[in-house]
Structure 1
């Protein structure tokens, strides 16, 4: 689901209701007497996640408890100043504020020039993913995430890519399998960006081989990094280190290689009058068709449509 809302300039109550429906229920307080809202809010649900873009157009304060879910607020401009769990956090571009579920929190000042991307993550879903990705269910998320690190930039790049994919996929992303894959990818990348590096020993080759065998047997599965780590019985970081050491690539690149090979075989054998490149790509778990086409061309030297027509 993707929604966009425009609100009349004199109605703070309607502005509060619109953002409550799109993100979290809250109490809104304008900080400047006589100010008027210039609200911009858009929301997209992807599996257990909701991505919401919010700008009030005026200095405001927001009071909420984030019932049942974590909130990760990423300022694209301006800043948010907040207090939660006794901690003061100020975030602008390059930082993200993390709010825990069912915990009182106040954004004491959301500046007029601030627009955020808010990521709402179901509490139980994130706790399961923390256990699967890090191998430790007791890890506590920090109050703020640095998005200027390599892991932070990777997460933001993935978010931007998936938002573009959702906008151009004509509903394909709404299918349960695709939604599960996208939400899993976003969550895994967020956890790796949010948590400090664990000291880890690379898994032995047999553990890597276990994942290779599972991927080869079912590459169309909506694999996420945490799924692969769970299959290996190690954390995501340990699995990534093992793949880099023994294969010279990350698990996601190996999965793409396998999918490209399966797609190529089906394109060679396919009939262009009764099937399409998209049909075949989706059959093997490909959801980002633009990125797939570029990867296919790099590997095989031609566009996938050319292989199907040959």
Structure 2
């Protein structure tokens, strides 16, 4: 139901294995934040497991205690989301109503409020911590303006909505790639994009006091902003661009930039960036010496880290496989064509 496996997550990133309360407390404090830990059933010994990975501003950890416990925290400094992958946990943010998290339901915690959690013995959760500054910065990018008030989420998360299911797929990707040798979380450009997907996905999936603005139709970015974004991509496609960083450089909101790209180019900014990168890969492979060149190395240099998906995208664009280009077979037309800008005074190659 959650899109995440009901087994131990992130096994390649162990932080602690503890039967001692003090050791378990210290590990969770070091990874997340200061808290109190109380074992509620002394007859069942503690068997704590914590695996965790950090991807930019996002900390993702698998946590279970193996015994019924109660946790209490001081006012949190960041945003947290706890997603049960087994069992149930009663969780409360500040003075709000308790969230009975379990299959299909997660709990969201805001900075500036204490938390109180009662874990069942069989409960295990994927615990996310998202840096407050980065989350609010992404929100400002999406809106294209300063925030009028602090971001507040609804504390109960319904994991069955289409938006939540899509977000869980992003988390599942993060979990898989973190444990894959050479996975995308180990590459700065891809990790930056994955962090952005996690943060933006939460903003769109979980109701909050800015949801009406986030889901309202966005104005098209003006031609000058689109030109600026295209110039940035064409001049430095290897940079770890996200829709947010492009929007900031173009001085528009993320949604305006996305609407503008979709209107004039028929694809979102990140798809445009991928298209440019594919063209750069094609150019390198066509000019390279097959004896001293590996396709994987060239693709990785341009941000393509999954061989199968890269080969599929390359063939769709050029009509041949990357290996055929490397060994001299002429590629099909790349699909670049002139696009008329709204002011008709400037053309751009796509």
Q: How high is the TM-score relative to the length of structure 1?
A: 0.85
Structure 2 CA distance, aligned partners of 1:304 and 1:117? 38
Correspondence for 2:101: 91
> Partner of 1:104 in structure 2?
114
1:197 deviates by 4.4
Give yes or no for contact 1:25–1:66 (8 Å, CA) kept in 2. Answer: no
Aligned to 2:217: 200
- 2:160 alignment partner in structure 1: 148
Query: 2:136 touches 2:151 (CA, 8 Å); kept in 1?
Result: no
Match of 1:170 in 2: 182
SS at match of 2:272: helix
**TM-score, length of structure 2 as denominator length:** 0.77
> In structure 1, what is the Cα distance between the partners aligned to 2:325 and 2:102?
47
For residues 196-247 of structure 1, give each alpha carbon's deviation from its aligned partner in whole angstroms, at most 9, with x where no partner exists: 2422333145144442332222221111121122234333233333333333
1:128-175 deviation line (CA, Å, top 9, x unaligned): 222122334235131234433333222221222233223224377445
Residue 52 of structure 1 deviates from its aligned partner by 0.7
Runs of 5+ unmatched residues, structure 2: 1-9, 329-350
Partner residue, 1:249: 267
Picking from 164, 189, 194, the partner of 2:201 is: 189
Alpha-carbon distance, 1:252 to partner = 2.1
Residue 84 (structure 2) pairs with residue 75 (structure 1): yes
1:11 aligns with 2:20: yes
Which of the pair is proportionally richer in helix? 1
Q: Rg larger in 1 or in 2? A: 2
CA 1:228–1:145: 2 relative to 1, 3 Å: farther
2:28 is the counterpart of 1:26: no
Change (3 A) 1:126 1:204: closer
The range that moved more, 217-226 or 75-84, is: 75-84
Show the counterpart of 2:3: none
Residue 291 of structure 2, aligned match among 270, 273, 276 = 273
Q: 1:10-67: CA deviations, max 9, x gaps?
A: 5333332333333333211223241222323211111222111112223221111364
Distance change >3 Å, CA 92–CA 211, structure 1 → 2: farther
C-alpha distance after superposition, 1:267-287 (max 9, x if no partner): 222223333223222322334
Out of 281-290 and 128-137, give the one that drifted further.
281-290
How far is the alpha carbon of 1:122 from its aligned partner? 2.0
Look up the SS of the partner of 2:160 in the other structure.
coil
1:130 aligns with 2:139: yes
Quick one: distance in 2 between partners of 1:204 and 1:127? 22
Asked if structure 1 preserves the Cα contact closer than 8 Å seen for 2:226 and 2:250, the reply is yes
